[in-house]
Amino acid sequence: MQKIGILGGGQLGRMLLQAAANYPVETFAMENDSECPAAHLCHHFTKGDIRDFNAVYAFGKNLDAITVEIENVNVEALEKLEAEGVRTFPKPGVLKIIKNKILQKQYYQQHEIPTAEFVVTQNLQELDSRKNFLPAVHKLGEGGYDGRGVQILETIEDVERGFDKPSVLEKLIKIHKEIAQIVAINEKGDTALYPPVETLFDPALNLLDYQLCPADLKDGTLWKMEAIALTVVRHFNSPGIFAIEMFTDKTGEVYVNETAPRVHNSGHHTIEAHYSSQFDMLWRIMLGLPLGNTGMILPSIMVNILGADGYDGQVKYEGLEEVMQMENAFVHLYGKKYTRPGRKMGHVTVINKEKQDLLFKSKRIKRTLIAKC
């Protein structure tokens, strides 16, 4: 049996390990918290810091292959492991580009991939000299995660909220649709595309929490997005799963926002709604097995269950019983003991051929299933 390790032990690692149990593979995971969502689902768990060179190298050196469920890992250790013959998904060079928003934007530019116009600012002084570029989004080059490290600068007064470190300043796009496209690519370079998903905006809740699959796109836009996503992936020359986040504007122009070189939140629905889920697919790629069928069994919608505002402590779920009574709703709670505002505690996928049913149920789920304490 191959020995394969995962850096990171959150919900993505958990769902990867759930899928691993269909195959003969010896699994390893590393995370700093031995009660993390994935800790108990692998053959061998290591408590350790995934950002530490020695920890990552020691974890990986006897493995056949290694993957990540988060970008924020020690890339130098992965490079050494790769040089010593451990297959890495994605390759460390990809993580280097993705982790730095400046390099990531330059990658798009270099490969003529459409992305919002941008300039690099080294400090606040340089930002100040780029006021003509507003309205814009200021993104910290390194170290920004989960919404931190991003500021929308609408007017000149906002500039003081910018970053005094190397950052990207990119023109604000009037977003018509936010689309995520997941691409699988194996070591031979064969690719498989999942149907794109569309992030839906709930005006009442002011949240971007529903992901509808398939996205409602004109054929021309769909084909353009697929071609762009494939271009993003191919130039990386790396096997793995990639989630490419794109925007369209009202004119139908497409812009790549960012890429995650790993299994991704926007692919949760593939567990139930597609023949081969993104998690199943990554195991196929890592084990050298044929790519799976990305086809859709039924249309779906996915709702993230986030920690409710004002609650910080041991989690209790309100409304779980009501949601679990809904037909065709698949509940995934990640087994996190503690909730805090906005923390990803779980998700629910609904599958049905009727889009109206998906929209209706997902809104009801959002209102009903609450992570409190």
Query: Given the rule CB under 8 A, which of 36-44, 127-135, 226-234, 248-256 is the region that contacts a copy of itself?
Result: 36-44
Is the Cβ–Cβ distance between 249 and 174 less than 8 Å?
yes
| Structure tokens belonging to residue 218 | 């004109």
x/- letters, 272..301, toward a copy of itself (CB under 8 A): ---x--------x----xx-xx-x-xx---
Looking at beta carbons only, is 22 or 62 nearer to a copy of itself? 22
Looking at beta carbons only, is 20 or 134 nearer to a copy of itself? 20
Looking at beta carbons only, is 179 or 305 nearer to a copy of itself? 305
Is the Cβ–Cβ distance between 145 and 72 less than 8 Å?
yes
Query: Given the rule CB under 8 A, which of 86-94, 303-311, 322-330, 359-367 is the region that contacts a copy of itself?
Result: 322-330
Enclosing H/E stretch for 345: strand 344-351
Please name which of 109, 291, 121 lies closest in space to residue 194, comparing C-alpha atoms: 291
Strands, sheet with 2-7, edge to edge from the N-terminal-most edge strand: 44-47, 25-31, 2-7, 65-68, 87-89
Which of 157, 219, 309, 327 is the binder for a copy of itself (CB under 8 A)? Answer: 327
Q: Shortest Cβ distance from residue 293 to a copy of itself (Å)?
A: 5
Q: Shortest Cβ distance from residue 349 to a copy of itself (Å)?
A: 11
Looking at beta carbons only, is 262 or 268 nearer to a copy of itself? 268
Looking at beta carbons only, is 124 or 298 nearer to a copy of itself? 298
From residue 85, how far is each of 46, 251, 290 by CA, in Å?
21, 47, 22
Looking at beta carbons only, is 38 or 136 nearer to a copy of itself? 38
x/- letters, 3..22, toward a copy of itself (CB under 8 A): -----------xx-xx--xx
Per rule CB under 8 A, count of chain residues that contact a copy of itself? 39
372 makes contact with a copy of itself (CB under 8 A): no
Please name which of 363, 329, 76, 315 lies closest in space to residue 204, comparing C-alpha atoms: 363
Which of 27, 88, 121, 257 is the binder for a copy of itself (CB under 8 A)? Answer: 27
CA distance 98 to 153: 23
CA distance 8 to 10: 6
Looking at beta carbons only, is 102 or 271 nearer to a copy of itself? 271
CA distance 17 to 45: 12
CA distance 215 to 199: 8
Which of 156, 205, 227, 324 is the binder for a copy of itself (CB under 8 A)? Answer: 324
Residue 288 phi, psi (nearest 5): 70, 25
| Structure tokens belonging to residue 333 | 């709670």
List residues near a copy of itself by CB under 8 A: 1, 14-15, 17-18, 21-25, 27, 40-43, 275, 284, 289-290, 292-293, 295, 297-298, 315, 317, 320-321, 324-325, 327-328, 330-333, 335, 337, 351
